[in-house]
Structure 1
Amino acid sequence: MPTGVHLRDPREQLFAAAEQILEQEGPDALTSRAVTLRAGCAKGVLHRHFESFDAFLAEYVLDRISLLQAQGAVLRDSAGTGTVAGNLTDALIKLFGPAAVSIVALVTFNNQLRVRLREARAAGGVPIMTEIGQVLAGYLTAEQGLGRLAADADVSRLAPTLVGAAHLMFAGLDGLPPWPEDVRDVVVSVLGSALTSR
């Protein structure tokens, strides 16, 4: 592979390559060689921008977390529109895409990556899962303020329960997304009587 290939934004190109590998082949296929091959650059490019492959992975996960938080702002802004169950169904389908599910597996089995992310994030917990929980809690709190979720609903319990139920649903399908109707059924089941508007 020629080393003189010019990359407009090497970090983003490498992140995009990692995303494609995770979506198409899963976390086991994510190596520095696979990333640079997919990005169409020499292996040295990755090491020029990151101190190690673990550092690259940590930066990639943090970048995806920031994108996820941007999606969270969109979800929060949807409070009061559509239905609570419909908004959550759409959000879970977007938030638990193949790359997000693969990132959870990647972090779970990579000790060095977990240590780096623990140092870089204030949130604690499992990266991606914790942030999705925060996104859902923010949305549920907004809906509660509008009276579309019961005033006595415990958002701090509902949000992680939704995250766990959704993760099991999305991770158990070998890359195939669940039917939206099935996701909605889970949302309605978890929220139960807390839903004053479905």
Structure 2
Amino acid sequence: MPRGVATPEPRQQLFAAVERVVVGEGPSRLTSRAVTREAGVATGLLFSHFTNFDEFLVGYAVDRSFQLASAVAGLPTRAGSATVTENLSEIGQALPLDALVTMTRLMAYRPGITAGVEAVLGPGSAGLQPVERAIARYLAAEQQLGRVPASADPEALALIVTAVLHHLLLTDGTSPLAAGRLHRAIAALTDGFPTVAQ
């Protein structure tokens, strides 16, 4: 990029480049040079905002963890609408897919990033952890309405749904098959749940 040309929202431009690199090539290919090349900017731009590459990756993970938490914050309010299976299946569609895939793969590849995110946002705030908590709150709300059996454990069910989502993100990535596989898994998990409030 020529000198003197302003870069719009440079942090977000760099964060989007992280996602393209990780989704397209995998986290092992993630370097400062790969990110800035993908973003179409000089390497110095990254280091004008972050002290080092590790700080940059934590900054990315903080930003996207906050986005993921915001995207699922309203899930408990859906209790009583549609069906439990449909509401849980739509989680994958409500969340930004490239960010989900990148966060899952990046945090598996560089687990130290979790501590960096939690140092900023607090315990249990990194990656899919807020998603798991939102699912648990949603299922507890549905249980109060009688659409989840009284004998069910909402936290355990939330962990299972999150584990399935995590597996699909690591294996299927952005493949359109992932949504269908998620729906099938959730349908099997919720088979026999009441479809109307009791």
Residues 24-50 of structure 1: CA deviation (Å, up to 9, x unaligned): 322223221122122222111111111
Match of 2:103 in 1: 103
> Which stretches in structure 2 are left out of the alignment for 5+ residues?
none
For residues 22 and 81 of structure 1, do their structure 2 counterparts lie closer, same or farther at Cα, with a shift above 3 Å needed? same
Residues 78-127 of structure 1: CA deviation (Å, up to 9, x unaligned): 222211101111113444834423322222222543442343343348x3
Match of 1:74 in 2: 74
1:1-198 → structure 2 map (5 Å cutoff): 1-95=1-95, 97-110=97-110, 112-124=112-124, 127-173=126-172, 175-178=174-177, 180-193=179-192, 195-197=193-195
Q: Work out the CA distance in 2 between the residues paired with 1:188 and 1:162.
A: 11
One-letter amino acid matched to 1:69: A
Q: Work out the CA distance in 2 between the residues paired with 1:124 and 1:166.
A: 17
For residues 175 and 146 of structure 1, do their structure 2 counterparts lie closer, same or farther at Cα, with a shift above 3 Å needed? same
Q: Work out the CA distance in 2 between the residues paired with 1:5 and 1:27.
A: 30
One-letter amino acid matched to 1:15: F
Q: Tell me the matched-pair count.
A: 196
Q: Work out the CA distance in 2 between the residues paired with 1:170 and 1:42.
A: 31
* Segment of structure 1 superposing worse, 77-86 or 166-175: 166-175
Offset at residue 67 of structure 1 (A): 1.0
Residues 130-158 of structure 1: CA deviation (Å, up to 9, x unaligned): 22211211221222233221233211111
Q: Work out the CA distance in 2 between the residues paired with 1:111 and 1:140.
A: 29
**Alignment RMSD:** 2.5
Given that 1:14 and 1:35 are in contact with CA atoms closer than 8 Å, whether structure 2 keeps it comes out as yes
For residues 169 and 40 of structure 1, do their structure 2 counterparts lie closer, same or farther at Cα, with a shift above 3 Å needed? closer
Offset at residue 76 of structure 1 (A): 2.7
* Segment of structure 1 superposing worse, 28-37 or 50-59: 28-37
Q: Work out the CA distance in 1 between the residues paired with 2:128 and 2:12.
A: 23
Given that 1:17 and 1:35 are in contact with CA atoms closer than 8 Å, whether structure 2 keeps it comes out as yes
For residues 7 and 60 of structure 1, do their structure 2 counterparts lie closer, same or farther at Cα, with a shift above 3 Å needed? same
Q: Work out the CA distance in 1 between the residues paired with 2:111 and 2:155.
A: 28
Offset at residue 3 of structure 1 (A): 4.1
Given that 1:140 and 1:155 are in contact with CA atoms closer than 8 Å, whether structure 2 keeps it comes out as yes
For residues 90 and 187 of structure 1, do their structure 2 counterparts lie closer, same or farther at Cα, with a shift above 3 Å needed? same
For residues 180 and 160 of structure 1, do their structure 2 counterparts lie closer, same or farther at Cα, with a shift above 3 Å needed? same
* Segment of structure 1 superposing worse, 30-39 or 49-58: 30-39
For residues 96 and 189 of structure 1, do their structure 2 counterparts lie closer, same or farther at Cα, with a shift above 3 Å needed? farther
Offset at residue 170 of structure 1 (A): 3.5
